[in-house]
Amino acid sequence: MIRTLGQRMAVRLPFSVQQRQLVFYWLVLLAPLPLAIYAIGLGRYEIAPGEVIDALVRMVVDPPDAAAAPDIVYNVVTRIRLPRITASLLIGANLAVTGVAFQGIFRNPLVDSNILGVTSGAGFGAALMLLISAGAGMVQLSAFGFGLLAVFLAYTVSRLYYSAPLLVLTLVGILIGSFFGSLTSVLKYIADPLDSLPAITYWLMGSLADVTMSDIPLLLIISVVGMAFMWAVRWRLNVLSLGDHEAQALGLNPTRLKLMIILFSTLMTSVAVSVGGVIGWVGLVIPHAARTLVGPDHQRLIPATMALGASFLLVIDTLARTLWSTEVPLGVFTGLVGVPLLLAILRINKTGWK
């Protein structure tokens, strides 16, 4: 008799599905912290664990004067690794949780937050600024702005049509995304192959190599507010995924709620993309992985997705910055790791989408 991997696992584990999901839930939820602590000790510049701890303690207790002689160990730990690890956790959580929220409201397992064109818009915004050789601040601002603009366009244009709002919104979102994708291609075509073209190409593959402390505040604020919102609406997402009529029957205003979720998701994705560039796959793969581990109930799925997304991008980014002397674009890595992971999940998935 041929049994699936899930059946074999079920045979080996003496727990019920519910118990197992509870264990996974807590494991996933707690994973980012030890991983982050471990990651801060890793890097191309070798620092003994004691010195890392010493630097972190000094940062909290007695931050050295900025004018003082530069201390490489302290700088590496607090100014290079800490912002980067923070950014990878926040961006991973953002992309993953917006993915699960979109899959919930669109009732479609194939979407992530890019379905309304936010990433394509942000990519165009960044490419535009990279083309005219603007500074890093302008690139981020433009990426953020065009990400919002793309979703705004998709949403308003879709209101012009009266049939099947969700389907139209999806379709218009895909169209707007393709439109910005074409605009980006135009920019790449006219870009200087010596200078702006590699910058645009690299940006479109995602990287956290340039992240500094100054990038963190906005990312942190939007991420925390956004994640708090997602946490707050997590049971409503369960209702929404039943369909609009059921949601209305249960006293929800599904249109307003969806708009709110789209708004917050777009803000979260935009800020993530503006800092880290286009990092694909996280928003699609992680929700499925989380669903496999903790089940489809958004009460647990939302926190688990955030934690799993944070852990995933942290691991990927740590590999990207430590494996070789050059940085590997994150989009490449998430694809290389994400696709086999998704295939494996589809194989063992027992509790997700049918």
Partner 1 sequence: MMKRSLLNLLLVAALMVAALPSVLALAQEGATVTALVDESAREVVDAWIAAYSEQNPDAVFDVTYAPADVLLDDLSAAQLVITRDMPEDLPIEFECGQIGPIRMLLPDLAGRYLSSVDCDGPLTGPAASAAAFLEWVTGPDGQQVAIDLGLLPGEVTVTDQAGETVTVPQPVRRVVSAYGVSTYFVYPVGGEDRLVAATYLGIRGDEAVEAMTRIDPRFPEVANAVSTLGQGESNLEEIAAVQPDLLLASRDSEWLSAAGELGIPVLRFEGETPESLKEAVRLVGAVLGPDEAYRAEQFAEFYDEVLGSIQAQMADIENPKTVYFSGTQPLRVASGGMYQTAMVELAGGVSVSKDVPGAGWQDVNLEQVYNWNPEVIFVPTYGRATTEAFTDDPQWAPVQAVANGNVIQLPSLTGPLDTPAPDSIIGIIWMANQLYPGELDLDCEALAAEFYARFYDYDLTAEEASSLCS
Q: Is 326 in the site for partner 1 (CB under 8 A)?
A: yes
143 is an interface residue for partner 1 by CB under 8 A = no
Burial zone of 263 (CB within 10 Å; 0-12 exposed, 13-18 middle, 19+ buried): middle
Site for partner 1 in 294-313 (CB under 8 A): none
DSSP 242-310: T-HHHHHHTT--HHHHHHHHHHHHHHHHHHHHHHH----SHHHHHHHHHHHHH-S-HHHHHHHHHHHHH
Please, which residue, 2 or 68, has the CB nearer to partner 1? 68
Check binding of 189 to partner 1 (CB under 8 A).
yes
Judged by CB under 8 A, does residue 133 bind partner 1?
A: yes
User: What does the alpha-carbon distance between residue 258 and residue 169 come to, in Å, rounded to a whole number?
Assistant: 12
Region 221-260 residues binding partner 1, contact defined as CB under 8 A: none
**CA 125, CA 178: separation in Å to the nearest integer?**
14
The minimum distance between CB 350 and partner 1, in angstroms, equals: 41
Choice from 50, 163, 194, 217 touching partner 1 (CB under 8 A): 194
Of the pair 210, 244, the CB lying nearest partner 1 is at 210
**Are 301 and 127 spatial neighbours (Cβ–Cβ below 8 Å)?**
no
Candidate residues 196, 265, 334, 349; the one interacting with partner 1 per rule CB under 8 A: 196
Alpha-carbon torsion angle 68, 70, 74, 75, nearest 10: 120
Size of the site for partner 1 (CB under 8 A): 31
Residue 327 binds to partner 1 (criterion: CB under 8 A): yes
Q: How many CB atoms sit inside 10 A of residue 19's CB? A: 11
Among 31, 174, 175, 209, binds partner 1 (CB under 8 A): 209
Q: Which residue has the tokens 């956790």?
A: 89
Does residue 43 belong to the site contacting partner 1 (CB under 8 A)? yes
Q: Which of 180, 154, 149, 178 has its CA nearest to residue 167?
A: 154
Residue numbers 65-84 binding partner 1 by CB under 8 A: 66, 70, 72, 75-76, 79-81
Question: In the bound complex, what is the minimum distance in angstroms from residue 96's beta carbon to partner 1?
Answer: 24
Taking contact as CB under 8 A, which single stretch among the options 100-108, 155-163, 185-193, 296-304 is the one that binds partner 1? 185-193
- The set of residues, in sequence order, having a beta carbon less than 8 Å from that of 267 and lying 6+ positions away, is 148, 222, 226
Cβ proximity to partner 1: between 43 and 181 the closer is 43
Q: Are 237 and 227 in contact (CB under 8 A)?
A: no
Nearer to partner 1, 81 or 288 (CB): 81
In contact, 274 and 65? CB cutoff 8 Å: no
Q: How far is the CB of 48 from partner 1 (least distance, A)?
A: 15
What is the rounded CA–CA span in Å between residue 5 and residue 10? 8
C-alpha dihedral (304, 42, 337, 122), degrees to nearest 10: 80
Q: Is 51 in the site for partner 1 (CB under 8 A)?
A: no
Minimum CB separation from partner 1 for residue 318, in Å?
11
Out of 8, 9, 16, 44, point to the residue binding partner 1 (CB under 8 A): 44
Sign of torsion over alpha carbons 23, 28, 32, 34:
positive
Residue whose CB is less far from partner 1, 20 or 79: 79
Member of 199, 204, 273, 284 binding partner 1 (CB under 8 A)? 199
Where do contacts with partner 1 occur on this chain (CB under 8 A)? 43-45, 66, 70, 72, 75-76, 79-81, 133, 135, 189, 192-196, 198-199, 202, 207, 209-210, 212, 321, 325-327, 329
